[in-house]
Amino acid sequence: MCGIAGQLCYGSTLPDRDLLEKMSERLAHRGPDGQGTYVSGRIGLAHRRLAIIDLSDDARQPIANEDGSLQLVYNGEIYNFVELRAELVGKGHIFGSKTDSEVILHAYEEWGTECLPRLNGMWAFALWDEKKQQLFCARDRFGIKPFYYTEAGGSFLFASEIKALLAHPEAGKKPDDETLLTYLAWGVLDHSKKTMFDGIFQLRPAHAMVIEANGHPSQFQYWDINVNPAVTSDITDKDAASHLLSHLRDAVRIHLRSDVAVGTCLSGGIDSSTLAVLINELIRLEAPLSVGSRQKTFSAVFTDPRFDESRYIDEVVAVSGVDAYRTEPSAGQVWDDLQKILYMQDEPFGSLSIYAQYCVMRLAAERVKVVLDGQGADELLAGYLAYEWSYIRGLVTSFHWYTAFCEKIGALRHYRGFFWCALPQLFVRSGRRRLLKGDIPKVSRYGGTLDQVLYRELTSTNLTALLHYEDRNAMAFSIESRVPYLDLHLVEYIASLPLDQKIRAGVTKHVLRRAVKGLIPESIRCRMDKMGFVTPEEDWMKSELRPFVLQLLTSVTFHTRPYWDADAVVKNYLAFLDGRSAYSPELFCIVCAELWLQMFFDTGNTNPINVRVKKE
């Protein structure tokens, strides 16, 4: 896990060493274990190292092949690097290190750009081919690792985070209005190649690009997911559960490959609890050195029982005997931390739920360098309750009327309270969108059949944003976060299953619940609620954050923005404070957007972290 940056110059322009140094410095938190720079001809590459695999100096980057004709900067982990290395050695390749980054170099030598489908892991890399005079850049299948780029000053620039690109005086000078409005209205980001900075783009998941020395970048998609649209199939419940558990065990095993300590994020839900129990099983059977004799877990807890999952965490601890560490996000510290998170995230985010994750990563950094997390399971296995209506609607339109009836009865039996609250919330959120100005792009998260919804959630409307949050929260504390549910073979297996293995009779994640029967506590396996790392956002917006939000909403800059009716927003927030209007996330999105605009655009400060909305 690292930070990467670079500059490919067009025409007679040459790489700017000072610029590369500034870009690298802004990524220092991603790699405190070392740094390196390569400048030759038109190419300049910079790297910040977080040492995870092969801790020796042999693994320093930029890393080259034997004759120096290939230079690589890379961020991520190739989990099947051991197997790929053996295959490449068999083909005559000679390695000078034990790192997975060198495997990418030799895989490119052997297969060219066709090496990508062979990689199983998370990555963002840039590989300079001196002989071809071209830069080959690629990002993993789900966008677990970030890759941003822009063109400025007659050159192509790339980096792991937007803030590094902002080191160039011509990059990201104004917001991208369309992307910002989409976020304000729907709470989504990372749903396209555009970012909230005008002219700065991201390489889409499962995409690669080749940039010639004279410009003209060309992009291509090297992988896509196919979500099975069938409602049922011939596979038995027993076989589906057995195969899923086998794939998940393999995914966890390969994600534990590390030369440094590995821990686990434990929320108390079925996904993270399953990971914790499987890791404990592997400790007994295979004793992975990266975990040690006792697994370390990290959790967020709250005094308020509405947001606390301590009793579920306690059950996992009781059955597994892990070393459990906990943190309670502080209401008194939330404003200062909010601004730090915003700087690390580079773009505004949809809710304060990521604050709990931020606090968990801060806690984990005291004891481990790598954590495993359960991200991706909900989108793969239809874990969110809102998917129920998409499923039922698809069943009706495909004439599966009896199954649709059973699903409706099951959904109402298990989630009546959720749907009772969700319906009025739709009207509240619709009303808040009317506070915005401009042409708001349409975003359909739940339209269409369940397979179509899951495809969008995996590739654009949800998972991409969650992975963005995960990466920046972890890297803020120089932590590598790994997501075993997004292992290639596990993903392709789950995607191949029929829809009734994902939702049945109102029960989400049907096949996973069957697969872990007897492994995790029944109270967790049969949980029908959905929390994760949540926070008391509504309470904080009414109490601890109130003075800061009022200061922000009454600022001169807030009333000059073209994105909202400022007076109406203030009136609406006051109505919420007085109990005359229900809360919805759109209020936080507006507050977060204004804070972001002040931080990155209003000051002219080249180091936005120095900008603060002062406490009074």
Quick: pLDDT tens for 245-274.
999 999 999 999 999 999 999 999 999 999
Split at pLDDT 50, 70, 90, the class of 24 is very high
The sign of the CA dihedral 484, 488, 493, 495 is: positive
Question: Which tens digit of pLDDT belongs to each residue from 356-402?
Answer: 999 999 999 999 999 999 999 999 999 999 999 999 999 999 999 99
Distance, CA of 554 to CA of 529 (rounded, Å): 38
Query: What is the rounded CA–CA span in Å between residue 539 and residue 224?
Result: 41
Dihedral pair phi/psi, residue 481, rounded to 5°: -105, 125
Instruction: Tell me the C-alpha distance between 176 and 196, whole Å.
Output: 5
The answer to whether residue 221 scores a pLDDT higher than 80 is: yes
Where are the chain's structural domains? 2-178+193-221, 237-386+416-422+463-525, 537-610
- Is residue 334 predicted with pLDDT exceeding 50? yes
Report d(CA 312, CA 319) in Å as an integer: 11
Asked: is 237-386+416-422+463-525 a CATH 3.40.50.620 domain? The reply is yes
What pLDDT is attached to residue 604? Answer: 52
Q: What is the largest CA-CA distance in the chain?
A: 73
Distance, CA of 464 to CA of 183 (rounded, Å): 13
Instruction: Kindly calculate the radius of gyration of the chain based on its CA atoms and give it in whole angstroms.
Output: 24
Indicate whether 583 pLDDT > 60: yes
pLDDT at position 609 over 50: no
Whole-number average pLDDT of the chain:
94
pLDDT for 76 equals 97
pLDDT at 606: 44
What mean pLDDT comes out for the span 460-484?
97
Helical segments of 187-333, H only: 237-255, 270-286, 310-320
Nearest by Cα to 43 from 163, 169, 211, 162:
211
Query: Residue 96, by phi and psi: left (phi above 0), alpha (psi -120 to 50) or beta?
Result: alpha
Query: For residues 31 and 459, is the Cβ–Cβ distance under 8 A?
Result: no
- Is 3.60.20.10 the CATH number for 2-178+193-221? yes
Least confident range from 124-128, 180-184, 419-423, 488-492: namely 419-423
Q: Is the pLDDT of residue 172 over 90?
A: yes
pLDDT of residue 530: 66
